[in-house]
Amino acid sequence: MDINNRSRVHWACRRGMRELDISIMPFFEHEYDSLSEADKEVFVRLLTCDDPDLFNWLMNHGEPNDTELQRMVALIQTRNKARGPVAM
């Protein structure tokens, strides 16, 4: 997926699982544009992972084996926590 095609990345963020949407969508909306090109690539790669894995990682029930994905999960959690609760 092209990291510069914002609408495609936005579409890939929509997971259909409320818990994932609450974590991933706000991060995309508030943080994606400010990410480096390398971090955008890691974020898009994270979006290719299966929903159960994403859920477990974002809810601290495990972590990816890939260190770049671990860092991106931590970044999503940190930035979302700093922004506060999101009503959806």
Please give the tally of structural domains in the chain.
1
Q: Which two tokens stand for residue 7?
A: 């609408």
Give 74's contacts (C-beta < 8 A, 6+ positions apart).
none
Query: 30-72 pLDDT, tens per residue?
Result: 999 999 999 999 999 999 999 999 999 999 999 999 999 999 9
Residue 35 lies in a domain: yes
Provide the CATH number for the domain around residue 55. 1.10.150.250
Residue 28 lies in a domain: yes
The model's pTM is 0.89
Q: Coil, strand, or helix at residue 19?
A: helix
Query: 17-28 pLDDT, tens per residue?
Result: 888 999 999 999
**Domain coverage including residue 59:** 6-83
